[in-house]
Amino acid sequence: MQVPLELVFHGMESSPFIEEQIRAQVGRLERFSDRIISCRVAVEADRRMAHKTNIGLKVEVSVPGNVIVAKRQERPHTVNGVSQVYPVIRETFDVAIRQLEDDARKSRREVKTHDGPSYGRVTRLEPEREFGFIETPKGETLYFHAAVVEGEGFDCLEPGCEVRYLVAEAESAYGPQAKSVQLVGPRERA
């Protein structure tokens, strides 16, 4: 972590026990990701009723291009007069860890795409090498081989044609690739 942990308490006195538990959980975060820039944790006691105290925990983890936020508010159980706040802390950090893992998968481009077809336009064809490229709605370039073209086949495609495609999970040497490409007829998009 590039910036030291920022820990604040609202509506309650700081607690060495809670601070120790939070520092241990931040250590867990750092084991899951080496991309963490900073971490801010806010602990808040909400005492609207005299006999009930809710503990709120908010964890903000900054990574390049994203801020991960995990929140939890719960009334900790009391055992032998001692508040059991540790489960609230652990569960909040578990959520933050899952979000860090998702962020890491996105940064490695391991995110599964939706299973439905998408539409794009053929931008370039290499007939002699039997492949081409599609421009996606997001402006990205998608490689495809002649073998994945359905219907009338690769020979019917030309630059500017609208196609329907499915993205493959594995990338090609040219980057993301289609696992299925089909020429779109004029009525198919309507």
163 and 182 in contact (C-beta within 8 Å)? yes
Q: How far apart are CA 189 and CA 179, in angstroms?
A: 20
Which residues lie below 8 Å from residue 142, measured CB to CB, with a gap of 6+?
120, 133, 134, 135, 136, 165, 167, 175, 176, 177, 178
Which of 89, 26, 90, 39 shows the shortest CA–CA distance to 69? 39
15 and 82 in contact (C-beta within 8 Å)? no
- Phi, psi at 55, each rounded to 5°: -110, 125
Indicate the pairing of strand 162-167 with strand 82-83: unpaired
State the CATH class of domain 118-183: mainly beta
Low-confidence ranges of the chain (pLDDT < 50): 79-82, 111, 187-190
Domain ranges of the chain: 6-107, 118-183
Q: What is the pTM of this model?
A: 0.55
Q: How far apart are CA 182 and CA 136, in angstroms?
A: 14
* Predicted local confidence at residue 102, as pLDDT: 81
- Phi, psi at 186, each rounded to 5°: -60, -30
Q: CA separation (Å) from 17 to 12, 30, 60, 188?
A: 13, 20, 20, 63
Q: How far apart are CA 138 and CA 165, in angstroms?
A: 14
State the CATH class of domain 6-107: alpha beta
CA angle in degrees (0–180, nearest 5) for 116-169-131: 90
* Predicted local confidence at residue 84, as pLDDT: 74
Secondary structure (DSSP) of 23-89: HHHHHHHHHH-S---EEEEEEEEEEEETTEEEEEEEEEEEETTEEEEEEEEE---EETTEE--HHHH
Which residues is 181 bridged to in the sheet?
Answer: 149, 165
36 and 30 in contact (C-beta within 8 Å)? yes
